[in-house]
Amino acid sequence: MKKITYLLTGLFLFVAVNGVKAQASQECNIKYNLFKQNALSKKYAEAKPDLDYLLNNCPKLSVNIYKYGVKVASGIKDHALAKKIYEMRLANFPDKDPAKAHSDYATYIIKNKIGTDGEVFSILEKAYAISPKDMGVKNIFRYFKAVTEKNKDTNPQKVFDTYDDVMESVQIKLDDYNKKIAALQAKDSSGTIDSKEKKRLNAYTINSTSLGKVEGGLDAMISKIATCDRLIPIYTRDFDTNKNDGVWLKRAVSRMYNKGCQTDPLFEKLANAYAEATQSADAYNFLAGVLAKNGDRSGAAQMRKKAFDLETDPNKKARYKLIEAQSASGSRARALAYEALKYNPNLGKAYLFIASLYQKSANSCGSDEFEKRMVYVAALNKAQKAQRVDPGCGAGRYIASYRKNVPSKKLVFQKGLASGSSYRVGCWIGETVRVP
């Protein structure tokens, strides 16, 4: 009898407990649906009681509690609640876009001025440690600026490493936008794009443009620190420790190249070590530069071909062709840039490079002021093309510069031409453009 009594008691308790749980779960779902409906309708005051219930009783029900919850807290200007929501989201859903969540948290604090610089940096540091590429565009810049200020005098290597990580993440995001924009622009040109895709194209264009500005801002900051006088002693000191580290070697040789430090013997040492350690297409491409500098044109050409043939990513193939173009001049350089565009038609920097070639020829490609200024029209066209296909390439400043130098209406009138008429730019350029 006692055993039967214990079994019946246990069964009763089991049913009772599970009944309570089921009732609680049902209540959570009811509250969640009411909360979500009010939040989406922007009835934030009405959503607040249900939000409080969900936070206290059903914190793991859905990540949307926190996504919509922030909007509710922001709508009623309850910043303490917003901070609580961000913290609870990160605790209860640590694997749901954690870098973006941290980045959004930092943005909220900055926007509403409810935290210290140290608090913001701590949150951004967590986002960066998880995934720099998932941080907001402005926060990428903020984080790097803070790291630079903290370490530029005491630990410049920390600044360089952070810059490399950030720039690699920025490039990944830019490449992703580049592909998405190219696909949607093709649909737009064929007239098959729908309204949702049109909105996405606009959003990708805006984000890509913003990233391009961040890239320029990061370059401006690092350029003040990463001088040859500073880089050479650091890389000389650390070479023996890192001579087999492909990542360190890649970053060192890339920075030496980008800062124009190739004339120092250390650059050749780094490039050779990089090629030996990784035997990668990227390494062979740098080695080609060393051979070219030493006057071995044949060896440089062979090494570039080796790098190009080894690479399978068309975007990287395009970049290698552009690097080769940048070491050439005139029509040969332009031809190589166009080869780069065959592998990536949306490589804006290739169009900008062609534009720069035209601009440099302005004084030599024309017998009078009008003809010389029409060269800038050709350059402007290429820069505008770069901006259209690759909003993040930083074409804006080139466009502004070239536009200032196109022929004035007075000059066009004096030449006896009509605005909008066709005009062939001579010299090696040989392109037909429109008179402004």
**288-297: average pLDDT:** 88
- The proportion of the chain whose per-residue pLDDT surpasses 90, expressed as a percent, equals 72
Tokens of residue 302, six digits: 């062979």
pLDDT at 277: 95
In whole angstroms, give the CA distance from residue 39 to residue 36. Answer: 5
From the list 385, 372, 382, 381, the residue with the least C-alpha distance to 426 is 372
pLDDT at 3: 53
Tokens of residue 25, six digits: 């779960």
* Number of residues that make up the chain: 436
Residues with Cβ within 8 Å of residue 68, at least 6 apart in sequence: 35, 36, 39, 40, 47
pLDDT at 318: 95
pLDDT at 216: 83
In whole angstroms, give the CA distance from residue 28 to residue 415. Answer: 78
Query: Are the C-beta atoms of 422 and 432 separated by less than 8 Å?
Result: yes
In whole angstroms, give the CA distance from residue 230 to residue 156. Answer: 9
The string of pLDDT tens digits covering residues 105-158 is: 999 999 999 989 999 999 999 999 999 888 988 899 899 999 999 998 899 889
- The proportion of the chain whose per-residue pLDDT surpasses 70, expressed as a percent, equals 94
Query: Are the C-beta atoms of 174 and 208 separated by less than 8 Å?
Result: yes
Confidence of residue 11 (pLDDT cuts 50, 70, 90): very low
Confidence of residue 327 (pLDDT cuts 50, 70, 90): confident
CA dihedral sign of residues 103, 109, 111, 117: negative
pLDDT at 58: 94
Torsion of CA 400, 402, 408, 409, to 10 degrees: -80
First to last CA, the chain: 104
Residue 403 pLDDT more than 90? yes
Confidence of residue 217 (pLDDT cuts 50, 70, 90): confident
pLDDT at 16: 39
Is residue 316 within a helix (H) or strand (E), and if so which, with residue range? helix 314-326
The string of pLDDT tens digits covering residues 64-101 is: 999 999 999 999 999 999 999 999 999 999 999 999 99
Confidence of residue 14 (pLDDT cuts 50, 70, 90): very low
| Residue-averaged pLDDT of the chain | 90
Rounded to 5 degrees, what angle do the CA atoms 131, 133, 139 make? Answer: 95
Residue 360 pLDDT more than 60? yes
Residue 317 pLDDT more than 90? yes
Confidence of residue 220 (pLDDT cuts 50, 70, 90): confident
Is residue 210 within a helix (H) or strand (E), and if so which, with residue range? helix 195-223
Residues with Cβ within 8 Å of residue 229, at least 6 apart in sequence: none
Confidence of residue 258 (pLDDT cuts 50, 70, 90): confident
300: exposed, middle or buried (C-beta count within 10 Å: 0-12, 13-18, 19+)? buried
Confidence of residue 8 (pLDDT cuts 50, 70, 90): very low
pTM for the predicted model, two decimal places: 0.73
The string of pLDDT tens digits covering residues 149-207 is: 999 889 988 999 898 888 888 888 888 899 999 999 999 989 999 999 999 999 999 98
The residue ranges of DSSP E strands in 49-90, in sequence order, are none
pLDDT at 44: 95
pLDDT at 19: 44
In whole angstroms, give the CA distance from residue 269 to residue 243. Answer: 10
DSSP 8-class letter at 260: T
pLDDT at 429: 96
